[in-house]
């Protein structure tokens, strides 16, 4: 007897019609992000970056503002046909910093410091490279700081900069586009203080000075026989005592009526009648003639207590002179920064 077996087969058959099948694409759209804010290549926005207040002083010539690899990322396709990239267009500082003599700088991907950078590549590297197979989001390896030259800027006023004030702004630009690879949308990174920032003042006060300076008497014959110019055998030292914030730069300007015909602006005229050919010359540290109305630096970086020394001399320009008093007046103005 022949037996018959029935076999039931369950076969799962699947298919897809061309151009209808679902497909997953893992691509990164060109953008930069920080603190939950994103700027896209086709939808620009300002990204607010909170930064700690800077501890500024005259001995700090180079101060780091922020390391962006702690919070910022950029993503896209830095590869052929896309060439996504990000570069700087400008870096500006608040007037509170520029008044102190600071310039902004950027260090991109471990490269050299670039002051006031324009068209400096930031992402995917410092050359805006086209990298085969690159399609991802990475940290923005960028440092921003401020730098100043020694004794630059105005430090005499001091100030407090309120929290939430923008102290720096970096304008950047996307490169994008299939085929065209053009630089297009710009967007800002706005660096805003988390808390108040104090800018110290550097100044001095004059605690004591000689208000009247009396030179020794001299013989008419001695000054004439010596000839024209400063008479070295009679002088009087006068001094200024200053109390200063350390590192203050101190300058002084003297004003007074000048004795004509000497070939120098450093001789004060005799204000009394007679002896019009004799005047008074001032020297700083007994070496440098003090020209009237000319500012001279007397302490480039003052200590807490400064003693400034000047000397007064007779000056003979030639011609007739007679016995009698010689008197000159001068005023002085100190400036600090």
pLDDT of residue 152: 87
Nearest to 270 by CA among 283, 282, 257, 261: 257
Q: pLDDT of 75-97, one tens digit each?
A: 999 988 889 999 999 999 999 99
Q: Are 308 and 251 in contact (CB under 8 A)?
A: no
CA 8/CA 71 separation, integer angstroms: 62
pLDDT of residue 22: 34
Q: How confident is the model at residue 275 (pLDDT cuts 50, 70, 90)?
A: confident
Least trusted range by pLDDT, from 98-102, 143-147, 273-277: 273-277
pTM exceeds cut of 0.85: no
**Residue 48: which H helix or E strand, with range?**
strand 47-51
- For the chain, the average pLDDT equals 88
Q: Cβ contacts of residue 91 below 8 Å, gap of 6+?
A: 104, 105, 106, 116, 117, 144, 168, 169, 170, 171
Number of Cβ atoms within 10 Å of the Cβ of 35: 11
Q: pLDDT of 214-271, one tens digit each?
A: 999 999 999 999 999 999 999 999 999 999 888 888 999 999 999 999 999 999 999 9
Q: Are 34 and 47 in contact (CB under 8 A)?
A: yes
Q: pLDDT of 309-329, one tens digit each?
A: 999 999 999 999 888 899 999
Cis peptide before 122 (omega within 30 of 0): no
Number of Cβ atoms within 10 Å of the Cβ of 106: 23
Terminal Cα distance for the chain, rounded: 120
Q: Cβ contacts of residue 32 below 8 Å, gap of 6+?
A: 38, 39, 47, 72, 73, 74, 75, 86, 123, 140, 172, 187
Q: Using the predicted structure, report yes or no on whether residue 27 has a pLDDT greater than 50.
A: no
């Amino acid at each position: 007897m022949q037996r018959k077996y029935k076999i039931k087969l369950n076969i799962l058959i699947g298919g897809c019609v061309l151009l209808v099948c679902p497909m997953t694409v893992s691509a990164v759209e060109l953008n930069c992000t920080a603190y939950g804010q994103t700027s896209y290549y086709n939808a620009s926005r300002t990204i607010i970056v909170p930064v700690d207040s800077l501890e500024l002083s005259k001995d700090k010539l180079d101060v780091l503002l922020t390391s962006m690899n702690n919070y910022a990322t950029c993503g896209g396709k830095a590869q052929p046909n896309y060439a996504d990239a990000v570069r700087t267009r400008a870096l500006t500082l608040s007037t509170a910093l520029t008044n102190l003599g600071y310039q902004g700088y950027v260090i991109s991907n471990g490269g050299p410091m670039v002051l006031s950078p324009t068209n400096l590549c930031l992402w995917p590297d410092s050359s805006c490279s086209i990298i085969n197979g690159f399609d991802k989001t990475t940290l923005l390896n960028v440092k921003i700081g401020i730098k100043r030259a020694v004794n630059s800027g105005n430090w005499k006023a001091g100030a407090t900069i309120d929290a939430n004030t923008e102290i720096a702004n970096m304008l950047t630009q996307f490169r994008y586009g299939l085929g065209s690879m053009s630089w297009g949308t710009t967007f800002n990174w706005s660096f805003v203080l988390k808390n108040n920032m104090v800018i110290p003042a550097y100044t001095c006060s004059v605690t004591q000075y000689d208000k009247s300076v009396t030179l020794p008497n001299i013989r008419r014959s001695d000054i004439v026989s010596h000839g024209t110019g400063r008479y070295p055998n009679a002088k009087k030292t006068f001094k200024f005592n200053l109390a200063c914030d350390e590192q203050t730069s101190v300058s002084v300007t003297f004003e007074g009526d000048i004795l004509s015909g000497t070939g120098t602006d450093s001789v004060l005229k005799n204000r009394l009648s007679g002896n019009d050919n004799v005047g008074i010359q001032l020297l700083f540290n007994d070496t440098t003639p003090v020209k009237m109305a000319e500012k001279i630096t007397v302490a480039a970086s003052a200590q807490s207590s400064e003693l400034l020394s000047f000397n007064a001399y007779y000056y003979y320009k030639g011609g007739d002179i007679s016995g009698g008093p010689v008197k000159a007046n001068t005023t002085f103005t100190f400036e600090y920064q």
